[in-house]
Chains A and B, each alone.
Chain A
């Protein structure tokens, strides 16, 4: 391993043996040993196959992949939590993983005691934590609460304290899972500020995400893991493109109808029967059309139709409803089928989007909220790494007669 390399992953394989019936009592050990001889009842799941890549010192490195791709297993192997079945992972120096904030936090202890406990988890001695205690507390803005038990903290306060601890960690390699960037907008901003600072200070960071905008903005290079294998390794932009392409290939454009697996909630009375997005892959088209159909199960009045669009990181990008738009829905009779069509200007930056239609009463009671009803993907020739990408018109005026084309 050369001096330039911070992490080297060499032909890593990871298998999980999944017994069809978990052997966790001695009786089943005996019976399953007999079964094994009779033909075997366990199944080997290949979570990772032949993964190799290396990360240079000072690099911001992305690992992307869908849920279930093996991305999280890779993360745990890098963190030393799981052992590879074969192959090696070598790390130069100390690697600190942030798979979750506030590891080891105990609700029964005070904020102060938890700082010391979490500090120990991160490898800081009592003295070292004492030295930076004031900074940690003031960064978390929790001066008045440190002698209260953690269980009396709001979840926001807990996250603030944990994050304040995390930013103190002195690691040669930081492993950051995207779950870090959850919480309110203010906290997300703080997180991303921290990422920017890490990048500026040339820290080696491994960032795991399926938010292509974040990958594009922060990472120098990235790898894409799909179906347990490494699909592409290269510049963050190339990898992000490849990732977006995967959804284009798998996206169906028949629209969605509710099935047994559909996640929906509400009191009913009127429900959506169909949701369809056109086109399911949007590039330069100026607008996007979402068509919905709802069927009334009984007479209802004072209802509001709404639509919500989220990105892959579960952030609400946009949405509206008939009430906000000043449209009053007249009495709907039992058995009526109502079609509501939504035309939305194409403001979407690259990535996958989730469409959630809802019907509520004007007083707020929910009739039908259909989670993740359908999805669409944006894949543009030029995009931004930010939340939205409305079509900009840029004009540049030069003092002389040069044109931008001639440059």
Chain B
């Protein structure tokens, strides 16, 4: 352990400072400061809530729809923040890369941790809604921990891949923007999977983000949220598909980033 710490000492020191800096800079110059970390998701959520319960009752019949919606939005926002934010992260640090040699993965790791801090702050908002919404919490809620780990790995793997690709191909940012827009609607965030024809639902749920969001809702809010196994008639092995996709992304993203990172300084 001591040896491991020594080896990664520089990375850990850098990581801490970069996350701290990022957090300090985020709300700098705003009067309410850190309050915005809570206020922003709360206000954005209020808009969605008004649109989708009052004007367009998409969530009619979904028990605890506000909490259901909020949880989906928060998890999705984390994913969007990490991946979209990372696309230009390496190129954005080009100036630094050309002047000092440091482990490049720290840049991506730092933005992931910053987003994670945000996710925890957002969880406070969810907790408030869950408390006032009289949602019964069971021990199942503990399943959120492995789900967050999966989400973290999924998002950072894609971030590694995109940021390294962007150094060579600037098209990546536009492509990813479109992909994210499509994925937002392909993922059951606003709607319940029950309303999607079964054969499509079977396909949509294979997306790891859909699996994570549905599992989280199932664990926290209740069985109305269909998990991947519910859709495939109770087959538990089906979980291996989204998990496998995540693993493949992790390996390919990680190894591509590792191989390219030596040349970032020359190519950015």
Contacts and interface: CB of A to CB of B under 8 A. Distances in A.
A99 B25 contact: no
Nearest to B100: A103
Contacts of A125: 9, 13
Contacts of B25: 106, 108-109
B96 interface: yes
Interface in A96-130: 97, 99-100, 103-104, 106, 108-109, 113, 116-117, 119-121, 123-126
A24 interface: yes
B168 interface: yes
A109 B96 contact: no
A169 to B, nearest CB: 11
B13 A81 contact: no
B169 interface: yes
B263 A83 contact: yes
A116 B17 contact: yes
B48 interface: no
Nearest to A125: B13
B101 A80 contact: yes
A23 B168 CA distance: 7
A388 interface: no
B102 interface: yes
A103 B100 CA distance: 8
Interface in B246-264: 262-263
Contact of A120 (B17, B24, B101, B263): B17
Contacts of A119: 17
B265 A26 contact: no
Interface in B83-119: 96-102
Nearest to A95: B101
Contacts of A103: 96, 99-100
A24 B91 CA distance: 13
Contacts of B102: 121
Given A103-B100, A117-B21, A121-B102, A108 B10 contact: no
Contacts of B17: 116-117, 119-120, 126
Contacts of A397: none
A86 to B, nearest CB: 14
Nearest to A83: B262
A52 B257 CA distance: 30
Q: Which of A16, A24, A27, A106 gathers the greatest number of chain B CB atoms within 10 Å?
A: A24
Contacts, number: 68
B16 A120 contact: yes
B40 interface: no
B259 to A, nearest CB: 11
Count class of interface residues, chain B: 20 to 34
Interface in A119-155: 119-121, 123-126
Interface in A9-53: 16, 23-27, 29
A24 B169 contact: yes
Contacts of B171: 25-27
Contact of A81 (B18, B101, B169, B170): B101
A100 B99 contact: yes
B21 A81 contact: no
A26 B262 CA distance: 22
B235 interface: no
Given A79-B100, A108-B28, A109-B24, A24 B168 contact: yes
A274 interface: no
B169 A120 contact: no
A76 interface: yes
Interface string B65-93: 00000000000000000000000000000
A120 B21 CA distance: 11
B265 to A, nearest CB: 5
Nearest to A100: B99
A100 B265 CA distance: 15
Contacts of B97: 81
Q: Which of A23, A76, A120 gathers the greatest number of chain B CB atoms within 10 Å?
A: A120
Contacts of A97: 99-101
B171 to A, nearest CB: 5
B170 A24 contact: yes
B14 interface: yes
Contacts of B28: 108
A123 B10 CA distance: 6
Contacts of B14: 120-121
B199 interface: no
Given A25-B169, A99-B99, A81 B24 contact: no
Given A81-B99, A106-B21, A120 B168 contact: no
A121 B21 contact: no
Nearest to A149: B28
Nearest to B28: A108
Interface string A57-99: 0000000000000000000100111110000000000000101
Given A16-B266, A106-B25, A124-B13, 7 more contacts: A25-B169, A82-B266, A99-B100, A108-B25, A113-B24, A120-B14, A121-B102
17 contacts: A25-B170, A76-B265, A79-B100, A79-B101, A80-B101, A81-B99, A83-B262, A97-B100, A99-B99, A108-B28, A109-B25, A113-B24, A120-B14, A120-B16, A120-B17, A123-B9, A123-B10
Interface of A: 16, 23-27, 29, 76, 79-83, 97, 99-100, 103-104, 106, 108-109, 113, 116-117, 119-121, 123-126
Interface of B: 9-10, 13-14, 16-18, 21, 24-25, 28, 96-102, 168-171, 262-263, 265-266
Minimum-distance CB pairs A-B, first 10: A80-B101, A120-B17, A81-B265, A26-B171, A83-B262, A120-B13, A103-B100, A99-B99, A25-B171, A103-B99
